[in-house]
């Protein structure tokens, strides 16, 4: 059990807390529980979990603020669990640094499927080292941006960007395919670790979550939506890599 992946459940509802604990335990996680935002922050700092499920409606600090604070020091996957149905709450959760969300009541099988899809993608390796030191064959470069898939790092002008794993995965997808347009549906499947042509259902909220992640990524890059250097929006379809700029 020493090598078991660690899961953290931050949830004030005892029944839901027990349900999520059972799902994660069955998926092979060593699960820790927290009933408040403060307890969850302490546990996230001490345990360095691989995945965190996070309730929005906590009794002390709302889940959005908890996610923001966790994201300052952790690259754990964060799945927001919300009883609210307003899309704006979902989008706020993603903007706070969450990777995915589920609306209560949710099906245990769906939660497990989402968790397992996430864990098929490697954790970012912020301590692996500068991408410039990585094997050239594993490095993608574009307009001053250096991205190492092996090291899970993105370096711009000598500074490593602090990207969530979903943001990194979207950036990597565009770098891999260059000027080929990737639809929001394609990219949503990429975040699920599914083939682009899997044919699985992608909902409007799933596509909207891609938009939010791309917006967060654009801000971290300091990119302009009107005159992009890296992320080009293809209106009504999706995204592609902006043209390469030749150095004078």
pLDDT of residue 123: 56
Answer yes or no: is pLDDT of 91 > 80: no
In CATH terms, 131-241 corresponds, of 3.40.50.450, 3.30.465.10, 1.10.10.10, 3.60.9.10, to 1.10.10.10
Distance CA(230)–CA(15), nearest Å, equals 45
Residue range 242-246: average pLDDT? 87
**Residue 199 is encoded by which pair of tokens?**
């044919």
Question: Quick one: 57 exposed, middle or buried, by C-beta within 10 A (0-12, 13-18, 19+)?
Answer: middle
Q: What is the pTM of this model?
A: 0.67
Residue 18 has pLDDT above 60, yes or no: yes
The residue extents of the domains of the chain are 5-119, 131-241
Tokens at 211, concatenated = 């938009």
**CATH number of the structural domain 5-119:** 3.40.50.2300
Query: What confidence category does residue 127 fall into, taking pLDDT thresholds of 50, 70 and 90?
Result: very low
Measured CA to CA, the distance from residue 225 to residue 175 in angstroms comes to: 17
Instruction: Give, in order, the Cα–Cα distances in Å from 82 to each of 56, 67, 99, 141.
Output: 6, 13, 14, 38
Average of per-residue pLDDT across 176-180: 92
Contact status, residue 61 vs residue 37, Cβ threshold 8 Å: yes
């Amino acid at each position: 059990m020493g090598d078991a992946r660690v899961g953290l459940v931050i949830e004030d509802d005892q029944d839901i807390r027990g349900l999520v604990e059972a799902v994660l335990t069955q998926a092979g996680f060593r699960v820790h529980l927290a009933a408040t935002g403060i307890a969850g922050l302490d546990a996230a700092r001490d345990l360095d979990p691989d995945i965190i499920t996070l309730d929005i409606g906590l009794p002390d600090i709302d889940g959005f603020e908890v996610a923001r604070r966790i994201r300052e020091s952790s690259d754990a996957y964060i799945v927001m669990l919300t009883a609210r149905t307003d899309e704006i709450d979902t989008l706020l959760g993603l903007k706070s640094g969450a990777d995915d969300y589920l609306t209560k009541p949710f099906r245990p099988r769906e939660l497990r499927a989402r968790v397992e899809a996430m864990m098929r993608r490697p954790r970012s390796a912020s301590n692996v080292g500068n991408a410039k030191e990585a094997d050239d064959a594993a490095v993608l470069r574009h307009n001053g941006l250096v991205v190492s898939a092996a090291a899970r790092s993105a370096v711009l002008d000598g500074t490593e960007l602090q990207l969530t794993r979903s943001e990194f995965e979207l950036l990597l997808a565009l770098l891999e395919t260059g000027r080929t347009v990737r639809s929001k549906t394609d990219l949503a499947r990429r975040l699920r670790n599914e083939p682009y042509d899997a044919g699985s259902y992608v909902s409007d909220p799933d596509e909207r979550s891609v938009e939010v992640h791309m917006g967060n990524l654009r801000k971290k890059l300091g990119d302009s939506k009107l005159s992009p250097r890296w992320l080009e929006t293809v209106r009504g379809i999706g995204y592609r890599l902006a043209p390469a700029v030749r150095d004078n």
